């Protein structure tokens, strides 16, 4: 509104397609707490995020004004993908509607995909983030990480064994005509007396003991149902062009990154998704 026709000013300070580097700060709490909770995180964690945002913005400006990968022809900070005319990329022109696979001839005839300067930095940061996270975690906290992985695997195996044993006993009782005993076995299986808080004695844990815990088998059942549905979807809709082994790969990838990224989030107040 100060200078609506000033392109450079809007590119740097604009809040829609610009970088949002506005010298007039806002006191709107919805904006201040968009990416983190400044009252909950230590000051050093919040200030690191702020400095990282400023540094990233400076890199985006450099990419944009040096026209790296033709970014100067696109909005400076957009998550969209564009064609060689600057319009949003029409994916239907390059994808086979029957199989969902890329049609290479149509792709060459149409256009390669172009990213904005902000998107280039984002995906470049993703490629750097994952290996650097693993290296940092392995160097900084490999002992507690190893202990956490062992504890997680023991918990998973114990819960699965408890479910299997409980189901066997329940089925055996049902086959014997003892419905009440089968119900008792199911109830015992679903109400484990162990608690995640047993190994902790801090003020927050002591407060949380007053609330009932969600049983582990709830999470395992949700995971199992989701896993089965995922296999059903990729096997019954071949146009997705997704082999079944990719489901196992995704699950394995998440298990590998689960604890390292949780650790990073605990010490820094920030993390990234597995994009």
Chain center to CA of 161: 29
Q: Can you give the pLDDT at residue 29?
A: 78
Query: What pTM value is reported for the model?
Result: 0.72
pLDDT at 58: 93
Note the pLDDT of residue 19: 86
Give whole-number Cα distances, 223 to 191, 226, 234, 250, 259, in Å. 19, 5, 17, 13, 18
Query: In this predicted structure, what is the pLDDT of residue 63?
Result: 94
Region label for 76, one of left (φ > 0), alpha (ψ between -120 and 50) or beta (otherwise): alpha
Q: Alpha helix locations (H) across the chain? A: 7-13, 29-32, 43-65, 104-110, 117-175, 179-190, 203-208, 216-236, 245-268
What residue has token string 């990224």?
261
CA of residue 200 relative to chain centroid, distance = 28
Distance separating alpha carbons of residues 146 and 52, to the nearest angstrom: 30
For residues 256, 262, 264 and 269, what is the CA-based torsion angle, rounded to 10 degrees?
150
d(CA 162, CA 236): 33
Domains of the chain by residue range: 7-120, 132-268
In angstroms, the CA 77 to CA 121 distance is 10
In DSSP terms, which residues pair with 102 in a beta bridge? Answer: 95
Residue 219, CA distances (Å) to 129, 145, 215, 223, 231 in order:
29, 22, 8, 6, 18
Determine the 3-state secondary structure of 227 from DSSP: helix
Per-residue pLDDT at 117: 94
Give residue 121's pLDDT.
94
Identify which of 86, 90, 75, 82 has the alpha carbon closest to the alpha carbon of residue 20: 75
Contact predicate 259/145, CB 8 Å: yes
Query: Average pLDDT of each block of 10 consecutive residues along the chain (275 residues)?
Result: 82 82 74 73 83 91 94 91 93 83 89 94 90 87 82 80 80 80 72 69 84 80 91 85 89 86 84 77
């Amino acid at each position: 509104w100060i200078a609506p026709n000033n392109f450079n000013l809007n590119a740097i300070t604009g809040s829609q397609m610009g970088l949002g580097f506005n010298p007039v700060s806002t006191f709107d709490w919805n904006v201040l707490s968009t990416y983190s909770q400044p009252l909950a995180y230590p000051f050093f964690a919040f200030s690191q995020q702020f400095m990282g945002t400023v540094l990233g913005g400076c890199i985006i400006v450099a990419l944009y004004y040096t026209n790296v990968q033709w970014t100067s022809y696109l909005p400076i900070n957009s998550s969209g993908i564009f064609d060689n005319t600057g319009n949003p990329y029409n994916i239907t022109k390059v994808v086979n509607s029957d199989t969902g696979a890329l049609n290479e001839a149509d792709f060459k005839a149409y256009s390669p995909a172009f990213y904005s300067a902000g998107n280039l930095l984002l995906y470049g940061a993703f490629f750097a983030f994952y290996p650097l996270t693993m290296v940092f975690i392995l160097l900084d906290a490999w002992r507690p990480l190893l202990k956490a992985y062992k504890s997680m695997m023991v918990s998973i195996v114990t819960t699965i064994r408890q479910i299997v044993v409980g189901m066997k006993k329940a089925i055996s009782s049902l086959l014997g005509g003892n419905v009440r005993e089968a119900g008792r076995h199911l109830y015992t299986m679903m109400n484990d007396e162990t608690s995640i808080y047993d190994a902790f004695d801090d003020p927050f844990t002591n407060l949380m003991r007053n609330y009932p815990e969600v049983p582990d088998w709830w999470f395992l059942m949700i995971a199992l149902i989701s896993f089965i549905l995922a296999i059903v979807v990729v096997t019954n809709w071949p146009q997705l062009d997704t082999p079944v082994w990719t489901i196992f790969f995704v699950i394995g990838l998440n298990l590998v990154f689960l604890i390292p990224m949780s650790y990073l989030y605990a010490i820094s107040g920030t993390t990234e998704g597995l994009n």
